[in-house]
């Protein structure tokens, strides 16, 4: 005997789509044949008892849609405290300003103050801003700050490289490091050490050459310079320890101008100890 392949019964969807000759009767209501052709969950639905003809069903659907839209508008625009609370819960808006937990772990150190964050939280809460949206705005600002810092560091490094290139043209070979150390020493003597961190002067080869040509010869053999080279060992050691700690805790790029300045400063302190 040949094995019979079972034939699957038509699905509910297939049954529902089979054509019905007349889906309304002579009164314009849904015909019994049409209602019986529907799946059980549709044919027995209460809406067909309320709207027993196509026209009333369409009108009822339009009315229900309009009513739903009106209720939705009332919900999203209401000033009622209980509705506002429900709305905020749905949207993820905290109940108070203090409930905004802003993550600043990716922000560069001291780039965004606590005062700015506190003011932003006040604004976010007054606008009904969800926590996720508030954090997204802060993340966007952090990305901009990082981009600006990187751009400044690249620009500073470019200026530094250009300045160094000009000076190396004037000071060949080993004289570059020696002459630069003399300039640094002269600026310390003149109490102009802060200018070493100022890109306007530190990256200006004309300024550096002026110090070397005009100031260094005047004070290079001065007894005061000799005295300054014999600074207290303990003081130098303390300065070195403090500097190394700042270098260890530094969060920025080690190729940036600030970190490289600390490297040069450490080198100078080590030379004094030796």
Q: Which residue has the tokens 């005062």?
A: 115
3-state secondary structure of 30: strand
pLDDT above 70: residue 200: no
Helix (H, G, I), strand (E, B) or coil at 24: strand
Return the pLDDT at 141.
92
Give 83-131 pLDDT, tens digit per residue: 667 766 776 788 888 888 889 888 888 888 889 999 999 999 888 888 8
Q: Which domain holds residue 183?
A: 148-273
Alpha helices in 171-232 (DSSP H): 175-189, 199-202, 205-210, 216-219, 223-229
CB 37 within 8 A of CB 18: yes
State whether 155 and 269 are in the same domain.
Answer: yes
Task: Please report whether residue 89 resides in a domain.
Answer: no
Mean pLDDT of the chain: 75
Tally of structural domains, the chain: 3
Q: Is the pTM of this model over 0.75?
A: no
Residues 169 and 179 in one domain: yes
Scan for tokens 């550096």, then name that residue. 208
| Residue 225 contacts residue 217 (beta carbons within 8 Å) | no
Query: Can you tell me whether residue 44 is helix, strand or coil?
Result: coil
Q: How far apart are CA 207 and CA 200, in angstroms?
A: 9
- Residues 263 and 188 reside in one and the same domain: yes
Asked whether residue 54 falls in the same domain as residue 157, the answer is no
Under a CB-based contact definition with an 8 Å cutoff, are residues 20 and 31 in contact? yes
């Amino acid at each position: 005997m040949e094995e019979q392949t079972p034939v699957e019964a038509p699905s509910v969807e297939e049954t529902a789509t089979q054509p019905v000759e007349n889906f309304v009767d002579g009164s314009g209501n849904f015909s019994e044949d049409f209602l019986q052709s529907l799946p059980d969950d549709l044919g027995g639905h209460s809406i067909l008892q309320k709207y027993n003809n196509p026209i009333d069903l369409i009108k009822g659907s339009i009315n229900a849609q309009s009513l739903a839209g009106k209720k939705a508008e009332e919900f999203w625009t209401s000033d009622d405290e209980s509705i506002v609370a429900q709305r905020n819960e749905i949207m993820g808006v905290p109940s108070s300003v203090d409930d905004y937990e802003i993550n600043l772990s990716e922000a560069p150190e001291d780039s965004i103050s606590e005062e700015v964050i506190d003011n932003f939280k006040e604004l976010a809460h007054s606008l009904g801003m969800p926590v996720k949206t508030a954090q997204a705005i802060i993340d966007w600002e952090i990305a901009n700050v990082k981009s600006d810092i990187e751009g400044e560091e690249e620009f500073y490094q470019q200026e530094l490289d250009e300045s160094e290139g000009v000076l190396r043209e004037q000071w060949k070979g080993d004289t570059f490091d020696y002459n630069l150390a003399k300039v640094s020493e002269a600026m310390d003597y003149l109490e102009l050490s802060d200018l070493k961190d100022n890109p306007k002067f530190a990256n200006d080869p004309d300024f550096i050459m002026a110090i070397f040509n005009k100031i260094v010869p005047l004070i290079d053999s001065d007894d005061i310079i000799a005295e300054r080279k014999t600074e207290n060992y303990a003081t130098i050691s303390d300065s070195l320890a403090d500097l190394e700690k700042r270098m260890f805790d530094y969060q920025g790029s080690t190729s940036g101008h600030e970190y490289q300045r600390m490297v040069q400063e450490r080198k100078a302190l080590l030379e004094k100890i030796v």
